């Protein structure tokens, strides 16, 4: 399942990278309304057909083309926001766990405060003040994502710093930077990588939620959540305009979650040992 998820993510990444070329190849409009060909004589979106593989939306735009461009926007926001959140959370978690004392107390209080904030309420307030844009959207997501990473890293560092080899390294005169680079970061890389793969689908859902509420990327630029919001009034007569963006969201989030579960199992020694034991039994 994890290998299948990885292959699916790779395919989605390729689609996101080459989305403009694919849209040009389809020769169908993803941005400009096409009321002449994309709507029938009654003004109803066209169902999936040989010309429009996934049908059209409420103004005649090709759903497949918009899903392809939406993948590009969604993946860019999710990947960049996740990397930024992991970097910020790791730095703060390492500092808090390594130094402890008043430093740990201050950072722990900040982490708890950020986690306690209501995401949608604060996001709506930020957008009302600063306006909806990609930068505001990504900054809001990063602010609400780094705290969980920092909490996890802090707990790991608090455990690692009490190990005998860390104390021996300090006794030999190693600097804090050397301890972090040579000993702490390699030991927390596995859990951070696993959590990062699980954080990406969370951010995809966060972006889709904000776009659904009109707080994300503004039309006519497509995102999967925005497509669902735009066509929610036509679900009874054009179900495809909501169904296919929803399927794209489901496939992407499910794939990242399965990949994260696979990475967690692969990096857990007990799980690897059980897997080898079962394989040996089958071979016998």
50-87: pLDDT as tens digits: 888 898 888 888 899 999 998 988 888 889 999 999 99
Q: Is the per-residue pLDDT at 279 higher than 70?
A: no
Contact 67, 61 (CB under 8 A): no
8-state DSSP, 56: B
Q: Take residue 193 and report the two structure tokens written for it.
A: 């990588």
Over residues 16-30, the mean pLDDT reads 85
- Rounded to the nearest integer, the mean pLDDT of the chain is 85
Q: Is 246 a residue whose pLDDT tops 70?
A: yes
Domain ranges of the chain: 2-275
172-193 mean pLDDT: 87
Residues 6+ apart with CB under 8 A from 126: 136, 139, 140
Report which of 70, 105, 91, 100 is spatially closest to residue 252, judged by C-alpha positions.
70
Residues above pLDDT 70, as percent of the chain: 94
Residue 123's pLDDT band (cuts 50, 70, 90)? confident
pLDDT over 80 (residue 184): yes
DSSP class of 52: S
Location of structure tokens 């990473």 = 149
pLDDT band of residue 2 (cuts 50, 70, 90) is: confident
**Position 276 confidence tier, pLDDT thresholds 50, 70, 90:** low
Q: List phi, psi (to 5°) of 56.
A: -125, 165
CATH number for the domain whose boundaries are 2-275 = 1.10.3720.10
> Residues in the chain, how many?
284
Which residues 6+ apart lie within 8 Å of 224 measured at CB? 67, 70, 71, 74, 208, 211, 245, 246, 248, 249
CB count in 10 Å sphere of residue 21: 10
* pLDDT tens digits along 206-240: 888 888 777 777 777 888 888 888 888 788 888 99
CB atoms within 10 A of CB 112: 11
Mean pLDDT is lowest, of 81-95, 126-140, 235-249, for: 126-140
| Torsion 197-199-200-202 (CA) sign | positive
Q: Model confidence over 150-167: pLDDT tens digits?
A: 999 999 998 888 888 888
Evaluate the CA torsion angle 99, 84, 136, 121 in order and state its sign.
negative
pLDDT value of residue 90: 93
Is the model more confident about 230 or about 251?
251
CA angle 130, 136, 139 (to 5 degrees): 130
Q: What is the pLDDT of residue 189?
A: 86
- The answer, yes or no, to whether residue 101 has pLDDT greater than 80, is yes
* pLDDT confidence tier of residue 94, bands split at 50, 70 and 90: very high
pLDDT at 278 exceeding the cut of 60: no
On the question of pLDDT at 122 being above 90, the answer is: no
In the predicted model, is pLDDT for residue 270 greater than 70?
no
Per-residue confidence (pLDDT) for residue 217, from 0 to 100: 79
Please state, in angstroms and rounded to a whole number, the distance separating the CA atoms of residues 127 and 100: 36
| pLDDT tier for residue 88 given thresholds of 50, 70 and 90 | very high
Q: What is the pLDDT of residue 89?
A: 93
pLDDT bucket at 93, cuts 50 / 70 / 90: very high
- Give the pLDDT score at 218: 78
């Amino acid at each position: 399942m994890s290998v299948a998820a990885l292959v699916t993510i790779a395919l989605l990444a390729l689609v996101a990278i080459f989305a403009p070329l694919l849209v040009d190849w389809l020769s169908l409009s993803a941005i400009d309304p096409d009321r002449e060909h994309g709507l029938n004589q009654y003004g109803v979106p066209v169902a999936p057909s040989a010309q429009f593989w996934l049908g059209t939306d409420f103004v005649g735009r090709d759903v497949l083309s918009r899903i392809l461009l939406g993948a590009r926007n969604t993946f860019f926001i999710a990947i960049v926001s996740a990397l930024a959140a992991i970097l910020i959370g790791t730095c703060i978690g390492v500092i808090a766990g390594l130094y402890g004392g008043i430093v740990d107390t201050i950072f722990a209080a900040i982490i708890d405060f950020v986690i306690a904030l209501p995401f949608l309420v604060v996001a709506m307030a930020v957008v009302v003040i600063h306006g909806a844009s990609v930068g505001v959207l990504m900054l809001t997501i990063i602010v609400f994502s780094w705290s969980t990473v920092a909490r996890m890293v802090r707990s790991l560092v608090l455990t690692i710093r009490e190990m005998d080899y860390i104390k021996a390294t300090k006794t030999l005169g190693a600097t804090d930077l050397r301890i972090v680079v040579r000993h702490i970061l390699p030991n927390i890389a596995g859990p951070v990588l696993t959590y990062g793969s699980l954080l990406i689908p969370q951010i995809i859902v966060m972006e889709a939620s904000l776009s659904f509420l009109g707080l994300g990327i503004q039309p006519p630029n497509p995102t999967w959540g925005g497509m669902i919001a735009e066509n929610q009034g036509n679900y009874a007569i054009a179900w495809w305009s909501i169904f296919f963006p929803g399927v794209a969201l489901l496939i992407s989030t499910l794939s990242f979650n399965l990949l994260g579960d696979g990475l967690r199992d692969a990096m857990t020694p007990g799980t690897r040992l059980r897997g080898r034991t079962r394989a040996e039994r089958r071979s016998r």
